[in-house]
Structure 1
Amino acid sequence: MIYDVPFRHQQALDPSALTTVTATLHAIEKAVEDCRNAGVSPESDPAVTLLTRHMATVSANRADEGVLRAACTRRVEELKRFPTLLALAIRGVEYDAAAKARFHEDGKRAMLLLASALGLATESYEVRAVTGTVDQSGYILLAAADLAVMLQIGARHEGREVSYRAVSGGLEQQNRFASIRDLLKPDRFADRLCRDLGLSRPGRPNDLPTQLAA
């Protein structure tokens, strides 16, 4: 049966209820579905066109095209380095044993790269994973004599997946936070850790820790 409904046209004329990208995208998808049901091309449907244009007005990111293209290019480069880890940080790994195992594997590797960038001797630190229960992502911890760095993922940690703190006289100092994207730039992040925590950075070894060879 071919039929049309007025709803998408009414919504396109007054999209004030569509205040987010997600809500607008859902409206566009429903409008396209209505077009198919009505035998109308969504490419030329005026309601679909208006709803599509409305998408630009609800986006919170008002940067110009050059800035947005540069951000996309940076994201592509990041994803080339640790695509799975970044993807898992966004989607979470709770109740997904395979994804959780991959998170812990890639997370440990990222911590080992950070330890190397910090110039830590292999015997002076430990990287360990705590898996937690099935409904948790768990965490990966880099622990050394004078600092601790922890990686956690999931919605509640978005943008603050990495916590780091100084350890002085066996006492842990206040946590600072960083994005997982910072962790995936180990040389730059090592500089930030040393600067924020007042640590010296020993000369970097020529080779990565032996654990990375596995």
Structure 2
Amino acid sequence: MSFDVAFRHQQALDPSALITIGTTLHALSKAMEDCRNAGVDAENDPAVVMLARHFSSVCATRPDEIQLRASCMTRINDLRRSPVLATLAVRGVSYDEPAKALFHNEGLKAMRRLAKVMGLASGTYDVRSNKGGIAVSGEITLHAEQFYVRLSLGLCGMDKEVLFRTCRGRADFTGGRNHFAGVNDLLDPDRFASSLVHELQLDIALPDRAEPLFA
């Protein structure tokens, strides 16, 4: 059953209480929800259109577009210098599904990059993700024929987010003695690959150095 209310029209006629982007966005979202409930086309609803136009008044005192674009570019450069995996390792991802999804996405990228730097051929290794429950970060794993690398948060403390050890094939989930490294080590795949070969005494000849994971 559809139904309509007058409140969005009243807000559109007198938006004086909507003085921030947040309150205006909330009012606009509610107005569009009312349209859906009423079976009204929100794109042509007069109240929705007026509330959308009110954004220009709310943003009138903000910096101009040139300044905003420059700020966006600066922020992008700052974020590129601070890889998200390092940030998530500090803040954690427990009980935060979006952060956890990002952690696993970036972790998988880092593991695939490490496999490439190690010169592993396709089909000779597995990269997998196990998210676990909401209270834990889960883990991302690179499992090759000679070694095993696992990334997880909170299990062993700061600067020990990466566990690595030898193994006897991809069916070996016990492996040799555990070694630990920090997430920042994983983010420097060339150096970390050298550490893996040296510390685990792997019979792997590393290819020429690759491009950095984060420029």
The two structures have a TM-score, normalised by structure 2, of: 0.56
Structure 1 CA distance for aligned equivalents of residues 78 and 168 of structure 2: 33
1:120, 1:202 within 8 Å by CA — same for their partners in 2?
Answer: no
Number of the residue aligned with 1:198: 201
SS at match of 1:86: helix
Structure 1 CA distance for aligned equivalents of residues 193 and 78 of structure 2: 17
* Displacement after TM superposition at 1:84 (Å): 1.3
Number of the residue aligned with 2:123: 123
* Structure with bigger gyration radius: 2
Number of the residue aligned with 1:141: 141
1:91, 1:154 within 8 Å by CA — same for their partners in 2?
Answer: no
2:196, 2:202 within 8 Å by CA — same for their partners in 1?
Answer: yes
The two structures have a TM-score, normalised by structure 1, of: 0.56
Q: State the percentage of identical aligned residues.
A: 41
Number of the residue aligned with 2:192: 189
Q: In the superposition, relative to structure 1, how do residues 124 and 205 fare at CA in structure 2: closer, same or farther (>3 Å)?
A: farther
Q: In the superposition, relative to structure 1, how do residues 81 and 186 fare at CA in structure 2: closer, same or farther (>3 Å)?
A: farther
Structure 1 CA distance for aligned equivalents of residues 160 and 132 of structure 2: 19
Structure 2 CA distance for aligned equivalents of residues 201 and 78 of structure 1: 36
Paired positions, count: 133
Number of the residue aligned with 1:107: 107
Number of the residue aligned with 1:83: 83
Q: Which runs of 5+ in 1 are unaligned?
A: 1-76, 209-214
Is the deviation greater in 104-113 or in 199-208? 199-208
SS at match of 2:129: strand
1:147, 1:164 within 8 Å by CA — same for their partners in 2?
Answer: yes
* Displacement after TM superposition at 1:93 (Å): 0.3
